[in-house]
Amino acid sequence: MSISFPASPLALDLGPGRPPLLRTGTVGDPAHWAAEHGDALHASVAEHGAVLVRGLGLRDADGTGTVFRRLAKGLMPEKEAFAPRRNYAPGVYSSAKWPPNQPMCMHHELSYALEFPGLMLFACLGAPTEGGATAVADSSAVLQSLPGELTKRFEREGWLLTRSYNDEIGASVAEAFGTEDRGAVESYCRANAIEFDWQPDGALHTRQRRSAVVRHPVTGARCWFNQIAFLNEWTMAPEVREYLVDVYGADGLPFNTRFGGGDPIGEAVVQLLNKIYEDNTVREPWQAGDLMLVDNVRTAHSREAYEGPREVLVGMADPVRLADCSPTVEVTTR
């Protein structure tokens, strides 16, 4: 059953090719403004999937954290990170450390976890000189654009994320799990339906199978919800992939994705997924002081390549459990 929401009372600019934009005018106290307009902003996100707020004048991590807390039911710590972040305050992070010249393709934050944020908060404290937009795409529209047979296979099998943790590429074991203690890591993996295998050199390999299509926990809308394309080897720049395969081997990549049954996902499928994402992408260049709210289930997001310094803070809010989203693949924890 789908649920409809009343239109947002905010005067949004709904220009084509970009997310809904709200211009606030001069704001003296961003935290007070956020508290006063929180319900209306959430209504805008429920209606449109995302909203970009321009004019708040966010300038520092402390003030941004206060705004995040005003707008969130609760901020959540990140577990199973795929790349390291700086932690400014509980639930307030830097953007993931990722090469500026390499895009972070469309994905849903922590869609490989059993609990993930229902709401993403982004705040731009410093805009790059070129590129670097946090673009968004409607996941229901993406799902409707996918070939039926491919969708059916992913619904039936789900998707498989494989990870090989090391101290050079991506997040380390300590950064991903918050500890280096093997017992604690193994307990987390068992509780979160993650298969694990310690290598002779101490490296950790993991596998986790998840649903590729879920239902929105509030509206019931079917959504393409995963990181199949973003974390797949064929999304990497060719020279990066060749280097990693040469150093770590085809089965030792820091992360990769497969069909849920274990079959490789071919380059053509990954290219198709990324093309459909691009066909449904809207973007707006960041300006310093901007705030963006994104429904993490309904709306995928990306980070485009950029030049110049870029500072965007991230809040992961309002936790949602996969079990509450009608997963198509059974998950067993121990």
Q: What is the pLDDT of residues 70-86, one digit of tens each?
A: 999 999 999 999 899 99
Residue with tokens 């805009």: 127
- CA distance readout (Å), 226 to 108, 140, 210, 283, 330: 6, 12, 8, 20, 16
Distance CA 156, CA 139 (A): 18
Average pLDDT, whole number, for the chain? 94
pLDDT in tens, 284-334: 999 999 999 999 999 999 999 999 999 999 999 999 999 999 999 999 898
Q: Confidence band (pLDDT; 50, 70, 90) for 60?
A: very high
Above 90 in pLDDT, residue 28?
A: no
Q: Where are the beta strands (DSSP E) in the chain?
A: 21-23, 50-54, 87-89, 92-94, 104-107, 115-126, 130-131, 136-138, 159-165, 195-198, 204-210, 213-215, 222-224, 255-259, 281-282, 291-295, 299-303, 306-307, 311-321
- Note the Cα 2 to chain centre separation in Å: 24
pLDDT for res 169: 79
Separation of alpha carbons 185 and 281, rounded Å: 37
Residues forming beta bridges with residue 282, ordered by sequence position:
136
Q: What is the pLDDT of residue 10?
A: 81
Q: What is the pLDDT of residue 8?
A: 57
* Integer Cα distance of 194 and 170 in angstroms: 18
Mean pLDDT of 22-27: 88
pTM over 0.85: yes
Distance CA 161, CA 163 (A): 7
Q: Given pLDDT bands bounded at 50, 70 and 90, which one contains residue 25?
A: confident
Going by pLDDT thresholds of 50, 70 and 90, the confidence category of residue 1 is: very low
Confidence band (pLDDT; 50, 70, 90) for 221?
very high
Do 320 and 297 meet the contact criterion of CB atoms below 8 Å apart?
yes
For residue 163, count CB atoms less than 10 angstroms from its CB and return exposed for 0-12, middle for 13-18, buried for 19 or more: buried
What tokens were used for 84? 């390291």
- For 28, the token pair is 């003296």
What's the pLDDT at 2?
43
Render pLDDT for 269-295 as a digit per residue (tens, 0 to 9): 999 999 999 999 999 999 999 999 999
Q: What is the pLDDT of residue 127?
A: 98
| Short-list 75, 125, 137, CA closest to 287 | 125
- pLDDT higher than 90, residue 31: yes
Cα separation of 227 and 204, whole Å? 21
In this prediction, residue 325 carries a pLDDT of 98
* Ranges in the chain annotated CATH 3.60.130.10: 21-100+115-133+284-295+309-325, 141-274
Query: What tens digit of pLDDT does each residue of 145-164 get?
Result: 999 999 999 999 999 999 99
Query: Where does 141-274 sit in CATH, by number?
Result: 3.60.130.10
Quick one: how many helices (H) and strands (E) in the chain?
Answer: 8, 19
202 vs 235: which has the higher pLDDT: 235
Region for residue 178 given its phi and psi (left: phi exceeds 0; alpha: psi -120 to 50; beta: otherwise): left
CATH architecture of the domain formed by 21-100+115-133+284-295+309-325 = 4-Layer Sandwich (3.60)
pLDDT value of residue 7:
53
At residue 199's C-alpha, the angle toward residues 259 and 226, to 5°, is 25
